[in-house]
Amino acid sequence: MAQESSHVARAAGAHRVVVVVDENSNPFELGCATEVFGLRRPELGRDLYDFRLCSPEPRTPMRDGFFTLTGVAGLEAAESADTLIVPNRPDVEVPRRAAVLDAIRRAHARGARLVGFCSGAFTLAEAGVLDGRRATAHWQWADSFRARFPSVRLETDVLFVDDGDILTAAGSAAALDLGLHLVRRDHGAEVANSVSRRLVFAAHRDGGQRQFVERPVPEVPDESLAPVLAWAQEHLDAPLTVSDLAARASVSAATLHRRFQAQLGTTPLAWLTGERLALACRLIERGESRFETVARHTGLGTAANLRALMRRRIGLTPLQYRHRFGPGQAATPRPAGS
């Protein structure tokens, strides 16, 4: 069946996401892309993307020969991608196909957004589009990556890097984090939360969190942060401090900080700020136009503080966010590089 025709019929005019699959590609990251960008969204009443797969060969053996992918579009489908997700594979020292690298260069030259999951950063670097740019890759390949591509500014202790029109994710699960980040960037926090609920996955893990998070076997009493996180999310409008969270958890502030780092890979204050910003975005999307009210209800204090944090963390002012994602606005993906 023509994959092309079915997707054109259901998503005409939508932002087109194309995944290039090559020999020995990893199935997990392919599944992540399909789950985030390719599924129908009846719960939203609309589909978010025009999604398709393509490959340079009619038959593509996936990693370790687990299965063979057939029946997808040829590599020419990459020419019409608004977002191009490049191949990732475990054999990072094996050169990529020249045809694939050429397709990536052409997509970059015409302004398409490029995405690399895990070892996909090697593909982007080999194509030459990461020179002088920020990127990340799985921690186990950091030394190999730096040796081969010294002109790339590799960040090894983060989940993903958003460098505007080129985005890279570290390990396998970070592909979901980056995928949801793109949905949030394209369609707003409310839609991203809906997609994350369907995935039964955390709605937002900041890209700056560490790749490797220690998860020690819990001792008695239970050291899970879940109760204090749930309590804090219900009291974001209050002037909560790290000391308040520590008191709720019946531990010292230093102990709470260690648990946040071990279980979430971030600090209590950074987590709290992220949750407040996520709530602010949801309030704006639902129609609250008084930014002082948004700031007060989310514990961010003032509209000026809200504006500064949104610009730094999201890249949009509250007014710009409302214009893009407020009621009655048809959210369209941000142009590459914006």
Q: Which residue has the tokens 């369209």?
A: 332
Burial level of 208, CB count in 10 A (0-12/13-18/19+)? middle
Read off the pLDDT of residues 99-110 as tens digits, 9 standing for 90 and up: 999 999 999 999
Read off the pLDDT of residues 13-42 as tens digits, 9 standing for 90 and up: 789 999 999 998 989 999 999 999 999 898
Name the nearest CA neighbour of 238 among 326, 331, 158, 300: 300
Arithmetic mean of pLDDT, 200-220: 47
Question: CA 94, CA 148: separation in Å to the nearest integer?
Answer: 12
- What pLDDT is attached to residue 209? 46
Question: CA 185, CA 338: separation in Å to the nearest integer?
Answer: 10
- What pLDDT is attached to residue 186? 92
Name the nearest CA neighbour of 207 among 231, 184, 230, 234: 184
- What pLDDT is attached to residue 230? 87
Name the nearest CA neighbour of 224 among 191, 185, 251, 196: 251
Is residue 205 over pLDDT 50?
yes
Angle between helices 226-233 and 268-285 (to 10 degrees): 40
Name the nearest CA neighbour of 194 among 207, 209, 204, 205: 204
Question: CA 284, CA 297: separation in Å to the nearest integer?
Answer: 11
Residues 6+ apart with CB under 8 A from 268: 242, 245, 246, 256, 257, 260
Question: CA 260, CA 254: separation in Å to the nearest integer?
Answer: 10
Peptide bond into 42 cis (omega under 30): no
Name the nearest CA neighbour of 185 among 331, 13, 329: 331
List the beta bridge partners of residue 162: 167
For residue 47, the number of C-alpha atoms closer than 13 Å in the C-beta half-sphere is: 21
- What pLDDT is attached to residue 30? 92
Question: CA 194, CA 1: separation in Å to the nearest integer?
Answer: 30
Whether residue 169 contacts residue 117, with contact meaning beta carbons closer than 8 Å, is answered with yes
- What pLDDT is attached to residue 263? 79
Is residue 4 over pLDDT 50?
no
Q: Which residue has the higher pLDDT, 134 or 4?
A: 134
Read off the pLDDT of residues 236-263 as tens digits, 9 standing for 90 and up: 988 888 999 999 989 999 999 988 888 7
Read off the pLDDT of residues 261-281 as tens digits, 9 standing for 90 and up: 887 778 899 889 988 998 999
- What pLDDT is attached to residue 2? 41
- What pLDDT is attached to residue 223? 62
Is residue 56 over pLDDT 70?
yes
Q: Per the structure block, which two tokens stand in for 226?
A: 């879940």
List the beta bridge partners of residue 61: 68
Is residue 304 over pLDDT 80?
yes
Is residue 211 over pLDDT 80?
no
Residues 6+ apart with CB under 8 A from 84: 18, 20, 78, 103, 104, 107, 112, 113, 114, 115
- What pLDDT is attached to residue 150? 96
Mean residue pLDDT across the chain: 85
